[in-house]
Amino acid sequence: MQNLTPRQREILKLVADKGILSVEEIQQALGISQATTYREFQTLVRLGLAAKAPGGIRQIEVPSSHCIQCRKEINFRVAFFIEQVDGKQASACCPHCGFMFLSRRTDINTVLATDFFYGTRLNARQAVYVLGSNVNLCCHPSVLSFSSRVDAQRFALGFGGEVMDFVGAQNKVDKLMAL
């Protein structure tokens, strides 16, 4: 399980805000050296959480504005981004639809979820999910993703729902939708 450092989260948050960031901007914003900035960029790109841009990094491009599962318009607060082994990309409106799509497929490369608090992208398989909370932004039952378990637990304390990992949440959604 690869946990992001607070600094990496900070960089992703800046990328989410601005779309694209140069090495110098990151250096200045975080007060770190150029070498450290490059190292952090490499890590984030390798994890599939950001893409290389000339002299910096940018947000991963969003392939389609409609959900591959239900055709609803993508809600960027909660969206799921899926890359297939053949390089094709798809989006799901929320983790709920993302799970339903993934359960039918075996040809999936990377899957990114969106942190509900910070709007940053994270590896969906390492995200923590809250199922069935009172905050229903998209499909029912609601599924929201978080990069930290502590955040997810705090959220569930206030808004209800069950805290689960990727596999647990996917199985639960499958089961509920099969009823």
Out of 128, 130, 139, 163, the only residue in the binding site for Zn ion (CB under 5 A) is 139
CB neighbour class for 46 (10 Å; exposed up to 12, middle 13-18, buried from 19): exposed
Phi and psi, residue 114, nearest 5°: -115, 130
3-state secondary structure string across 21-54:
EEHHHHHHHHCCCHHHHHHHHHHHHHCCCCEEEC
Q: Which x/- pattern over 27-66 shows residues binding Zn ion (rule: CB under 5 A)? A: ----------------------------------------
97 near Zn ion (CB under 5 A): yes
Q: Based on CB atoms, which residue is closest to Zn ion, 26 or 67?
A: 67
Beta bridge partners of 128: 146, 165
**124 with 113: CB under 8 angstroms?**
yes
Name residues contacting Zn ion, limited to 103-132 (CB under 5 A): none
Binding-site size for Zn ion (CB under 5 A) equals 10
69 near Zn ion (CB under 5 A): yes
- Smallest separation (angstroms) from Zn ion to the CB of 53: 29
Out of 47, 60, 67, 82, the only residue in the binding site for Zn ion (CB under 5 A) is 67
Out of 53, 70, 108, 135, the only residue in the binding site for Zn ion (CB under 5 A) is 70
- Smallest separation (angstroms) from Zn ion to the CB of 145: 12
Out of 15, 131, 138, 173, the only residue in the binding site for Zn ion (CB under 5 A) is 138
- Smallest separation (angstroms) from Zn ion to the CB of 72: 5
Q: Report the b/e string of 21-42 with b at 16+ CB within 10 A.
A: beeeebeeeeeeeeeebeebbe
- Smallest separation (angstroms) from Zn ion to the CB of 113: 12
Q: Based on CB atoms, which residue is closest to Zn ion, 29 or 70?
A: 70
At a CB cut-off of 8 Å and minimum separation 6, what does 155 contact? 116, 117, 130, 133, 144, 146, 161
Helix (H, G, I), strand (E, B) or coil at 69: coil
Residues that bind Zn ion (CB under 5 A): 67, 69-70, 72, 93-94, 96-97, 138-139
